[in-house]
Amino acid sequence: MIKPGQTAPEFTLFNSDKKEVSLGDFHGKNLIILFFPLAFTSVCTVELCEIRDKISTYTDLNAEIVAISVDSPYVLAKFKQEQNLPFDLLSDFNKEVSAAYDSLYETFSMNMKGVSKRSAFLIDPNGIIQYAEVLDNAGEVPNFNALRETLAQLK
């Protein structure tokens, strides 16, 4: 299980613009990684729109945000456009990054295999995990207050 104090697992994924994004792209910055089960579902939409609506809070705390799901880049592009999300959505279609972050359901609803668990990670400018929350219940959202408090302590 991923815990604070550990080095964040490396990744390179395609975003909704079909460009590669890597953990190393954020070296020297705070990075919030949000894993979410599926685009266009109700709780995922609420979660990512909450981040969108408070984006200035995260920017003021020197944080970049990426959100990762197993959806294809094409689905994520449509979701990003429809919800006007101001951060990258990354496709973990092969499920490798979700697994590396211990954020993968073996079986999700409707017997779907290998769907990202809703989770939140805060990685500091040196690549160390400062906050980790992995939720087994996809109907819940991460504790954004605790995430922001941890982020504020890094400032």
Residue 151 CA to residue 61 CA, distance in Å, equals 7
Start-to-end CA distance of the chain, whole Å, equals: 26
Nearest CA-CA partner of 23 in 102, 118, 121 = 121
Helices (H), 3-123: 42-53, 55-60, 73-83, 96-100
Phi (first) and psi of residue 18, to 5 degrees: 65, 30
The dihedral sign for the CA sequence 148, 3, 136, 123: positive
Residue 88 CA to residue 76 CA, distance in Å, equals 9
Query: Which residue bears the tokens 């799901």?
Result: 69
Q: Verify whether residue 49 is a known catalytic residue.
A: no
Please pick, among 44, 77, 97, 129, the residue that the annotation labels catalytic.
44
Active-site amino acid positions:
44
